Amino acid sequence: MLAASTPPRGRAQFHRYLAKYDGRAPRYTSYPPATEFTPEVGPETYRQWLAELDPGEAISLYLHIPFCKRLCWYCGCNTKVVNNQALISRYVESLREEMVLLDDALPGRLPVKFIHFGGGTPNLLSRDDLTTLFGAIRHVFAVAPGAEISVEADPSVLTPQWSTAAAHHGVSRVSLGVQDLNPAVQSAVNRLETFEQLKAAVDSLRAAGIAAINFDLMYGLPKQTVAGLIHTIDRALTLAPNRIALFGYAHVPWAAPHQRLIQATDLPDTDGRMDLADAAAERLMAAGYVRIGMDHFALQEDPLAKAAHSRALRRNFQGYTTDPCPTLIGLGVSSIGRLPQGYVQNASSEIAWRTALDQGRLPIHRGIAIDAEDRFRGDIIETLLCHLGVDLEAVCGRHDRTLDHLIPERVALADLVHDGLLARRGETYHVTEDGRPFLRTVCAVFDTYRPESAQQYSRIV
């Protein structure tokens, strides 16, 4: 691996890189990024795209549950605080109606291999809600035996009863939000969660037979220190999670106004963020976790680590995944779907989403059709994000193009090679250890949409 043979340089060098290459860029969970979606793609286009799907090809589902018991001030997700279970059950009923509309538009009962429940806090769904939802899913779709069914969950509200019900319906993986267990950090972001709550959640999931456990950790939060984060990691590792996502806090108060409740003066600066990220990564790798892509770690025998090893790793709206299905159908407020023809996004407000359903319309508000050029560039960007490197000749071959198609991009890459952020062998480029924090900078070289809208994104480093 070229990356391993390139020793990292010091902080002075890092600051030179920052001055030249830092900026803003999408997280590239899709290409083109969601900021490019427009109302030109609406329910009619979606209906046509759905009708054209191959009824024999397996698909994936994403269901968004936009409710939480509390509002964590750092949170960038589309969610709101709800303390009334009836409102959640009403939402589930609307999800069922959305599936009825989809049933009408799809060319058959499509096989499903991956289902992901995101949020918000999907473990706020009651046993009855889960029964309604899984009943509707299995009615409209043919859930394959052994399908991966994963759920994002808040450990502080996870009950043993929920674990049992989830396991009963086939849930096989749960991602628990940990972030940071230090009370000073927790009170600076309004998220109190004890180690005991986390342990009880893990124990109840395992007791119910849900063996695959992911933890979400964050760096770059207010009041965070390296020693405190390492202490969090050491405690978390005593529970032996299968995967860990280590997210850099994205401070985007223009998109998530409640983030203004975080005191900007309490946030670590860029050096502080790097110290946190580096120390956390080092600790996780020393504990035997394989580093994957930008921000994931997994035990060697976990399917994500195996997929990274065999170059089968993919990236979608949920981040890094083993899911290879070309079609992802999104359900619920603000959820994004990917079809071979392009991307679609549901209405972001619950009222607009529900109004569409009441009127018998698929609740799509925007999207984008993709062409061969988007697929080509999306392939390069996904390959870079998954493997920290790309063989441009191979990608050109897959998309019936020659290297001449990428003349300005290769000039930009030569600059990155010269500065030591990339290593090059022939037309294969690999991100060096120095280049790792600038991976999105490298991806942005291939992004033809970015220049007009870069200000909307989070900082790269």
CA distances from 245 to 104, 198, 202, 289, 298 (A): 37, 16, 16, 11, 9
123 binds ligand SF4 (CB under 6 A): no
Among 36, 148, 152, 447, binds ligand SAM (CB under 6 A): 152
Residue 21 CB, shortest distance to ligand SAM, in Å, is: 21
Per CB under 6 A, does 179 bind ligand SAM?
Answer: yes
Stretch that binds ligand SAM, among 74-82, 226-234, 278-286, 428-436 (CB under 6 A): 74-82
**Are 244 and 303 within 8 A, CB to CB?**
no
Question: Where do the H-state alpha helices sit in 388-459?
Answer: 392-398, 407-419, 439-444
Give the footprint of ligand SF4 on residues 102-121 (CB under 6 A). 119-121
Q: Which stretch binds ligand SAM (CB under 6 A): 244-252, 300-308, 357-365, 399-407?
A: 244-252
* Neighbouring C-alpha atoms within 13 Å toward the C-beta of 124: 25
E-assigned strand segments in 249-384: 289-292, 296-299, 314-316, 319-321, 328-331, 336-339, 342-346, 364-369
Nearer to ligand SAM, 177 or 332 (CB): 177
Q: Report whether 239 contacts 195 (CB < 8 A).
A: no
289 binds, among ligand SAM, ligand SF4, none (CB under 5 to 8 A by kind): none
Select from ligand SF4, ligand SAM, none the partner in contact with residue 31, using the beta carbon and a kind-dependent cut-off of 5 to 8 Å: none
CA 440 distance to own-chain centroid? 15
Q: Shortest distance, CB of residue 310 to ligand SAM, whole angstroms?
A: 27
Is residue 276 within 8 A of residue 220, CB to CB? The reply is: yes
Contact indicator for 35, 29 with CB cutoff of 8 Å: no
Where in 300-403 does DSSP place strands (E)?
Answer: 314-316, 319-321, 328-331, 336-339, 342-346, 364-369, 389-391
Please, what is the minimum distance in Å from the beta carbon of residue 46 to ligand SAM?
24
Strands (E), 66-208: 67-68, 80-81, 111-119, 142-153, 173-179
Residue 99 binds which entry of ligand SAM, ligand SF4, none, with Cβ cut-offs from 5 to 8 Å by kind?
none
Among 98, 154, 275, 350, binds ligand SF4 (CB under 6 A): 154
Q: Tell the smallest beta-carbon distance from residue 66 to ligand SF4 (Å).
A: 9
**What whole-number distance in Å separates Cα of residue 113 and Cα of residue 92?**
22
Contact between 446 and 377 under an 8 Å Cβ cutoff? The reply is yes
Q: For ligand SAM, give the closer residue by CB, 63 or 106.
A: 63
Select from 2, 22, 23, 71 the one that contacts ligand SF4 (CB under 6 A): 71
Task: List the one residue from 3, 22, 76, 433 that touches ligand SAM (CB under 6 A).
Answer: 76
Which of ligand SF4, ligand SAM, none does residue 249 bind to, with CB < 5 to 8 Å depending on kind?
Answer: ligand SAM
Residues of this chain, 100-139, that bind ligand SAM according to CB under 6 A: 118-119, 121
Question: What CA–CA distance (Å, rounded) separates 280 from 108?
Answer: 47
To ligand SF4, the closest distance from the beta carbon of 153 in angstroms equals 9
Q: Applying CB under 6 A, does 72 fall inside the site for ligand SF4?
A: yes
- Work out whether 246 is an interface residue with ligand SF4 (CB under 6 A): no
Task: State the Cα–Cα distance between residues 322 and 436, nearest whole angstrom.
Answer: 22
Give contact residues for ligand SF4 (rule: CB under 6 A): 68, 70-72, 75, 77, 79, 119-121, 154, 177, 191
Give contact residues for ligand SAM (rule: CB under 6 A): 68, 74-77, 118-119, 121, 152, 154, 177, 179, 216, 218, 247, 249-250
